[in-house]
Structure 1
């Protein structure tokens, strides 16, 4: 597949997640809730997770933002389900490496995430792509019972 076809495929994957988001909504009985904003462009997101014995059983998001931030949140919630918080953190670290143009390892279980790789060429959009992942990291670090709060990404 040539570069133009691959680029078009990735764009269609991103737009599919934006127009048909997976896991959109709120878990009423979630064990972890995290709110985060990107003041640079106005993106905002709320993540809710159902975590039992350190395993993410369910993940949902709601928010407003550009196609990059919302599709990334959709992809992230799909990727982390069924994984431990530690595994989710590792996924987040690999995703961040990809966004920064560093060597990274995206596994098949991370789903469509690699479709966002092209965002790394646009520094102003990296915060859009990483917003949900940074919220996941924040919630994981703060996880002690129920964690709630609103944060702006630096």
Structure 2
């Protein structure tokens, strides 16, 4: 009798199929809850596992896939841009192979796509220095623009 039950379980399990997740999926389900003490918890179900916490006590846990890869792939500049050091602790610098313009617009987004910081910095000898000592340790997307120049990259704050 045990053999028959095990055989039926094997046949049933071997015929089961799972949902196929595609790389285009951002998330399939999710939501947000505020706990009685004021913590906000965001959750999703999709692909790549993430989880972070910030000084504002926002806790994120779930499965998400960032679209940053497609944004970063669109860097079609003749100007080579280097971010250093990356990961950084307080300040991160960007060096340009040639001048993208007199001023550089810098926009920083968190992993949820929220605007964290926006500033216009002067281009000094094809370098800019950005002080982000006040943001929590996490991954961020930085977008640099000036005239026809547009560049996006991922930075990591330690």
TM-score, length-scaled by structure 1? 0.28
Q: Choose between structure 1 and 2: higher helix proportion.
A: 1
Q: Choose between structure 1 and 2: higher strand proportion.
A: 2
TM-score, length-scaled by structure 2? 0.28
Choose 1 or 2 for highest CA Rg.
Answer: 2
Structure with the larger RCO, 1 or 2 (CA within 8 Å, 6+ apart): 1
